[in-house]
Each structure stands twice: as C-alpha cells, then as structure tokens.
Amino acid sequence: MDRLSVVEVALIGLVVTVFVVPGVVPVVVGVLGGGVGLATGLVIALFPAAAIGGAVATFATGDLFTIGSLAGLITVVAITIRHAISLVDRYRRLEQVEGGAHGVDLVIEGAQARLAPILITTFGTAAFALPFVLLGDVAGLEVMRPMAIFVLGGLITSTLLLLFILPIIYLRSGPSPASETESLLSEPPAFEPSAA
C-alpha cells in the first residue's frame, strides 16, 4: 500500500491548497510584519505552479505518485513558500524602509539580493536528491527515489517562478498598500485657501 493513486494525491494536494496553506501563510506573513493581502496572494498562487514541475518529472520517469512523491511535494511547497515570502519581504523593505528603487529597479534589486540564498538552497537540495535519482531502483530507495525525482522537477519550476514570474507579478500589482499610505503621509496636503 505504498503507492497512492493520482486521484488520492490530487485530493491531498487540494486539501493542502484549500485549507492548510491559506491558514498558515497569512499567519507567517503577519508575523513578519507585512500586510497579508498581496504577499499571501502571490505565495498561494506560486506554490501549486511550482509543484507542477515535480508532477511532470514524476510522469516523465514513468513513476507513480507514492508516499515519497508526496514527501517531495511537501518539500517543494515548503521551499517555494519560504523563498516567496523572503522575496516579497525584500521588495517591501526596499519600498518602505530603505526608500530606494521603485518599479523595475525595485524588483531587480530585490531579486539580486535574494538570488544567492535561492540558488544555494536549490543547488544544495538538488545535490542531495540527485544521487537517489541516479542510483535507480535499488533496494532500500523505494521511497527516496520518487521523492528525489519530484523534488528535482519541482525545484526547476519553483526557481524559475521565483526569479522570473514573481517579480513580474509583484511589479504589475503596484506598490504595497503600506507604501501608498506612507507616501501620502510624507507629502503635505495641497491647501488652497478659498476666497470667501
């Protein structure tokens, strides 16, 4: 009973997507001190898309979804959420605290600042998973190999989404509400006395 059917994995993914992540991500983002709306929306939108790479890799190798694949899904989702939150947090800090770049300069500067941590995590995790994939179906690796395949595929799409798609979405969504409020408070209101 080690193997799960595609329907069972889809149902588990649906439960995690619908119930767990929307409850956990706002709490984490709130603890980090950011507004919940934009960051939560970006993170929730990214992690199912990041897991697609793992599903494609699993199907491409001819493996079925197993308990190991499910562990790989959880790993990819956790890495994606962590990096997405840190990237959005960096954008917000650049907007609000450091008063630096805006627009394209903001997302480039933020992505450059988070590039090394994202790539180090990605390559480190891939280096750990790759031997399990290369060893093949060796006795004792029945759980590790499907997990490693899912993780490698998920890391590819996750990294691409984090470094290229998330900045574009953040840029297109406009400044964060706290940034707008801060800019309104920093400019004195235009007051023109009326001639009574």
Where does residue 193 fall: left (phi above 0), alpha (psi -120 to 50 degrees), or beta otherwise? Answer: beta
pLDDT of residue 32 exceeding 90, the answer is: no
Q: In which band, very low, low, confident or very high, does the pLDDT at 177 lie, cut at 50, 70 and 90?
A: low
- Mean pLDDT estimate for the chain: 74
Distance CA(119)–CA(90), nearest Å, equals 16
Q: Which has the higher per-residue pLDDT, 21 or 117?
A: 117
Q: In which band, very low, low, confident or very high, does the pLDDT at 88 lie, cut at 50, 70 and 90?
A: confident
Average pLDDT for residues 42-48, to the nearest whole number?
71
Where are the domains positioned within the chain? 6-175
Q: Which has the higher per-residue pLDDT, 26 or 133?
A: 133
- Residue identified by tokens 């956990």 is 24
Average pLDDT for residues 78-84, to the nearest whole number?
87
pLDDT of residue 93 exceeding 90, the answer is: no
pTM for the model stands at 0.69
Q: In which band, very low, low, confident or very high, does the pLDDT at 3 lie, cut at 50, 70 and 90?
A: low
**The pLDDT of residue 186:** 46
Q: Does domain 6-175 have CATH number 1.20.1640.10?
A: yes
Q: In which band, very low, low, confident or very high, does the pLDDT at 141 lie, cut at 50, 70 and 90?
A: confident
